[in-house]
Structure formats: structure tokens, C-alpha cells
Structure 1
């Protein structure tokens, strides 16, 4: 309990004011779910400038580079590539549902599986990240190059291609089943490779806590991953940070709820959801040498004013 209370205090300080950085501290930035409207693009580009001014070690975009109704395809992806090139530090990207799963209902509609192939070809064929100064990345396989990993300062980082819209399970069970198996294998591998590290950080697009937060909805396409995530995190014992998007609300939740019937807190799991949609902001995550909880979080622009530690 004392560890949890101390964590909440650290996060409050990180959100409400600029923390005094301990020696050896550094930062990265997480963002996603933007732009959803053309009118938000100027604010988004201003955000990119603010991110560059923070000089993070790297940034991670957790998917949904557009609204679901916006046309998918090569022209849009090239526009996104131009935006990503504005990041002076390395930029790592994991796809959202709006870039492919939901393209059958975009205007005009297109084939989701073809859009997924296009995403992999345009964003994930290089051996390194995006951004003006790329860094080397590990990739799970040629079939799933979007599942990426890297290590910095004794911390293991990895992305998982898990998206909203039921993780594509309801629309295409064959595609879902193959990618779900790959995700489960990659998650096990990330935890295994992090055994000698002091923490593990995961990024995905989907909000695994949507049903818990809202008391409604379905877990279709998520159950296997939820179960494995909880099992591996409890077994790992060291800090695990999971950063996601999808629901557009800025959330910082230490000891995040588990996914069993009682939703018992997972003491070493810190859940962070990036703001999105009309809230054009990102989260700066400062990493310290604190063994119990090395992460403190605050908005980059201060637009996400409701970003505060969330109770169970």
C-alpha cells in the first residue's frame, strides 16, 4: 500500500508541475489518436514543435493517425510519413484500427487487408525507426514487422499490434487469429527478454480497460491478451508501464485493475492512456533511476488538463 501511495504522489507531482529531475533522468513522449479533424492539424503541428523542444530520447505514436471516416490509402500514408519526419528524435509507430480495420467504412471505402499490407510496406520495412534521426529496432518477423522492440537504460520497450474495433475479430476471424497468436508470442518474448531489465514498457492502440471503465461493451478480441498480460505482469514483479490510446481520455492509473472477475489491482502495472481526438496533446514520460517506480507523466502542451492519477 505504501508503494502505491508513493506512486500516486509521484504521478501527481509529475502532472501538476515540472518535477526536479534526478541525475540520470531522461524522457520520451507518447501520443496518438490524431488528427481526427482537419481543423486540428495546425494544433497538431504546433504539438510536434513542442515535442521537439522537449528533446525526448524518442517518441511513440500509438496509432489512429486519422478518423475512421477519412479515406485510407497511399496518399494519406504519405502525408503521415511527412508528419513523422518532423520528429527530430526517433519516432516509433504502432497502427490503430482507423488506418486499416475500419477502412471498409471510410469515405471512400477500401479493403482492410489491403490497407494493412500497405501500412506494413510503407512504415515497417526498414530495420530502424521513423523520425529524422532513426534508431535501430528489433522486429518480431517479416510477417509482423510492426511488432517492435528496443532497449534503453536498462528498460525493455515493445509495441504490440492490438487495435480497437474488437481487434478485427468480428470482421475477419482468420486475420485476427493469426495476429493474436503472434501478439501472444511477442508478449511472452518481451517479458522473457526483460527479466534482466529494471522495467518493461509496452505500447498498443487498444484500450483494454474500456469495459471496466464504462461498465459496458465487449472484450471480443482482447481476452487472450488480457489474461496473458496480467499473468506475466504479476510474475514479473518489477514495474510495467502500458501506454495505449483508443478512448481519447488522458488516464494515469497506478496499480491498474486486472481482468479477472474481481478486477483485483495489479500492483506493478501502471496504465497510461494518451489524450486524443479534439484534445491535441501528448504525454512526456520522465524516467528516473527509482527502482520501485521510475516513471512520472505530464502533458506536453497542458491542453489535457484532466490528466491526473485515476483511482480504481
Structure 2
């Protein structure tokens, strides 16, 4: 039994080519050496090109992890445990950065300057870069009597001057951030930040809980209206930035839960009713997220805290819809509510080489890790 020869065009050309007569020793040997050198050079170039493409692919698909914590500080007695939590996260070499997603003070603590300065030093002692996202208790509820009856807008300005004045994130390891205040039109909004790691663009946005600080009193709701415009611009700017950088995903951190529990179609005749529902302070933000998803077709992940008790400490869903009720498929929300915010953190492991590049889990502080002395 004999195998039939495959008649490819190259084989036909080889069969049709007559064999060359033998060359003289001197000239033929030089020609053969020249051909060998050229073949080796071409192989070397092909190997270098393949190695270069592999290294480029590895650089575009790094493996890293980041941690998210929130609500870890409600009183001064918890500062040592919170510092132990931050130190445990910083000891992990896989953690590229961590995000403190709002509420660095308790609801009954005063919004005094010295408390903010003490919490700033506590966060700044982190080994890993730490990005702070302001939450509801950090400035919105400061107008209540139990918090000192401060002006919320004035407390927000104080946070901007003391927590967001530096171009780098907090912590002992530098991480350069791009702040919205670099745009002259939005110079006050230093808390809105952007940074990039690998193929992912990260956004920190000032969206507090408590209906996004929408005030029902009459007159112009100045702080809310101006911040809505600034947040919408920052999201659209991030979409264009991610497209130019060929990013695969955008991750947005905010403290407030902007997604409704149940989607309801807008009632066309709601204005005829005498008892109106309270105005939704997150409506404009959701529309900005829909516009972001239209501009940037990659994956968009929104990370926010949740007040309800979650079985696994977090939940993953796709609650965003447009005004017509259609689900936005490329927007995913990760809502987390840790059982013990002083001993647990939410960790997201990223590996862009996998089909599902992000994996979410809850980690605990090692029990053998001692308490650290509180920073003076």
C-alpha cells in the first residue's frame, strides 16, 4: 500500500523544475554559505518577531488584583481594627491598589476637621495605593445635629482640599491619578478621578447614597445640578479616553446605589396625581451610564455599596435599562455588603487572558495578624 502524493502548486513547481548541474567548488560553496546565513538571519528575525508579539500580548494582558472596602470606620474605637484591615490588604503582593468606597466616619460622629485629619492619616498609612471615594456620611449627612450641623457643601470643599489636593492617590506607594479638576470648567471636582492599569480604565465618581444629595426644598438645587453635569462629562470623557487607548473594560467606583430594585416604566400621566413619588436623584446618572455604554462598547462594571444583607457579601447583576426599558447588556453592577467591614474586603482578581477576566471574592484578615498602633 502506497501513499498518494499531494499535488499542491508548490509540489508541481518542484516537479517541473529541472535539477541544476553541479557548480564549481569555490563559487558554489560561497553561495551555499550565503544562503545559510540568510536563512539563519530570516529565522532569527521571525523568532524575534514572535517573541516581541508574545511580550506585547503579555503586557496587554497582565494579572493583578484590587481590593474594595467601605464603612470600616464608625467610631474612634475601631481605628485600630481598620488600620489592621488596611495593613492586611497591603501585605498581599497581588494587590495593585485598593479603593475605600465611602463612609470613613460613623453616622453619630461629628464632621469636625480634626476627625477628618485623623482618618486621612490612617488611610495614608496604607502600603498599597489607596483611592478614596466620598460617601454619604462623609459630607451629605453633616448637616444633621448629631454630626455637628455643618453645611454639607462646605464639608465637601474641606474634603477636596485635604483628601484630593495631591495628584497621587493616598498610601505609601505612588499611583498617579487624573482628576477632573484638570479641566478648567470643572476645577472644583477633584474627587472625580481616572487611572488605567493594563487594558482597564478605572473611574472614581462622587455619587453618595441618600438620593444623591437631591434636596426637595424649593429653589435651585445648585450643588446637585452642577455635580450631575460634572459626573456626566467625566463619564463621557472616560468613554472617549478608553476608546483611544483600546481598553477592554471600564470599572466605575461610587458609594451610592444608583440602580432601582425594580424597573418601572415612566408613567405618562404621573403629573396628574396629587401624591407624587419623591424625585429620583440618580436618574441623570443612569442616563449618563447608558450614553457611556453606547460610546464604549466594551464591558462596563459599576461597583457600589449596598445596605441590604447579601448572602455571599456581594451580588452581580445587570439592572441598568434605558428609557424604553431595554436592558444594557454591556453594563454589569457589583454591589457589596460585607458581613464585617472591619475584617473583610472585596477582592477582584483580573486576568485579561481569560474569557471571564474578572473574578470576585471576599477575603478575611488573617487571625494571626496583630493590631497596629494607631497613627498619632
- TM exceeds 0.5? yes
In the other structure, the counterpart of 2:117 is 78
Distance 1:268 1:148 in 2: 22
Q: Distance in 1 between matches of 2:221 and 2:326?
A: 30
Q: Give matches, 1:1-312, under 5 Å.
A: 24-38=62-76, 40-55=78-93, 56-105=95-144, 106-141=146-181, 142-170=187-215, 173-195=221-243, 196-212=246-262, 220-247=280-307, 249=309, 250-254=313-317, 256-260=318-322, 264-275=326-337, 278-280=340-342, 281-290=344-353, 292-301=355-364
C-alpha contact 1:242 1:272 (8 A) present in aligned 2: yes
Distance 2:339 2:109 in 1: 13
Alpha-carbon distance in structure 1 between the residues aligned to 2:278 and 2:127: 39
Matched length: 277
CA distance in 1, matches of 2:353, 2:303: 19
- Distance in 2 between residues matched to 1:175 and 1:283, nearest whole Å: 31
Q: Which has the higher contact order (CA 8 A, sep 6+)?
A: 1
The two structures have a TM-score, normalised by structure 2, of 0.67
Measured against aligned partners, the alpha-carbon deviations of 1:151-174 in whole angstroms (never above 9, x if no partner) come to: 111211111111111111116711
Matched residues in 2 for 1:221 and 1:100: separation? 16
Equivalent-residue separation in structure 2 for 1:75 and 1:248 (angstroms): 31
Structure 1 residues 74 and 133: alpha-carbon distance in aligned structure 2, compared to 1, 3 A threshold? same
How far did residue 24 of structure 1 move? 3.5
Q: Report the structure, 1 or 2, having the larger helix content.
A: 2
Q: Does the 8 Å contact 2:303/2:335 carry over to 1?
A: yes
Aligned-pair CA distance for 1:272? 1.4
Secondary structure of 1:67's match? coil
For structure 1, the residue ranges without an aligned partner over 5 or more in a row are 1-22, 304-312
Larger Rg: 2
Uncovered stretches (5+) of structure 2, i.e. residues with no partner: 1-60, 182-186, 264-276, 367-376
Q: Secondary structure at the match of 2:140?
A: coil
Task: Give the aligned CA root-mean-square deviation in angstroms.
Answer: 2.6
